[in-house]
Chain A
Amino acid sequence: GAVVSQHPSRVICKSGTSVKIECRSLDFQATTMFWYRQFPKKSLMLMATSNEGSKATYEQGVEKDKFLINHASLTLSTLTVTSAHPEDSSFYICSARDNGASWGNSPLHFGNGTRLTVT
């Protein structure tokens, strides 16, 4: 089955530093990947859609300069949380759709998530 690998699984950083999270599709190609944020006992909130070779599309209320997304290849998207603050502490999950599946009509494959703690 389709596998999405996300690293790191857990990171603790100090306020003001930046953190990069990687999301890789291991056995399929993904032109589009999605980044979600999940607060404790809450739903998955879509932050942005990552597009290979072009700019990401951010959801309303999500700061693009705060959450930098790069999708340089068909198997890798990165999310960088810049100048992190304690309120950025959360569970970040990436997901991807298989290019080989029907467009707009196929399941999302999720990474294991990254638990970010900013001290």
Chain B
Amino acid sequence: GENVEQHPSTLSVQEGDSAVIKCTYSDSASNYFPWYKQELGKRPQLIIDIRSNVGEKKDQRIAVTLNKTAKHFSLHITETQPEDSAVYFCAASGSSASKIIFGSGTRLSIRP
């Protein structure tokens, strides 16, 4: 089955700087890669997603890149703000059924 690895587990950046979170996946048939943001005690919220037919997608300060050959994808947050502090999960949708497998999460802290 699909296996998703995520790094780093924790990340601290100065407000205004950029943050990058990286993930790799194992199933070459995976074709959908969402990113979720989870604040303490709350549900995960979809922040951006990318499908396998594109290499990059951007939404304001957030961008995601996908390298299908290498089977890795990354989340980029620019001009970070205090409200960006949260846990971020990458995920991949494998070839079996439509289940989504999550990475281990990255706790992002923005220093004022």
Contact = CB atoms under 8 A, between A and B. Distances in A.
Interface of A: 32, 34, 36, 41-46, 49, 57, 93, 97, 103-108, 110-113
Interface residues of B, number: 22
B interface majority secondary structure: strand
Interface string B62-106: 000000000000000000000000000100010001111111110
Nearest to A112: B43
A46 B43 contact: no
Given A104-B32, A105-B51, A107-B49, A113 B43 contact: yes
A113 B36 CA distance: 15
A43 B98 contact: no
Contact of B102 (A44, A97, A106): A44
Contact of A46 (B89, B101, B103, B105): B101
B61 interface: no
B99 A43 contact: no
Contacts of A32: 97-98
Interface string B41-58: 011111001010000000
B89 A105 contact: no
A34 B93 contact: no
29 contacts: A32-B97, A32-B98, A34-B99, A41-B107, A42-B104, A43-B102, A43-B103, A43-B105, A44-B102, A46-B99, A49-B97, A49-B99, A57-B97, A97-B98, A103-B98, A104-B93, A104-B97, A105-B31, A105-B32, A105-B51, A105-B93, A107-B34, A107-B46, A107-B49, A108-B34, A110-B44, A110-B45, A112-B42, A113-B43
Given A46-B99, A97-B98, A104 B42 contact: no
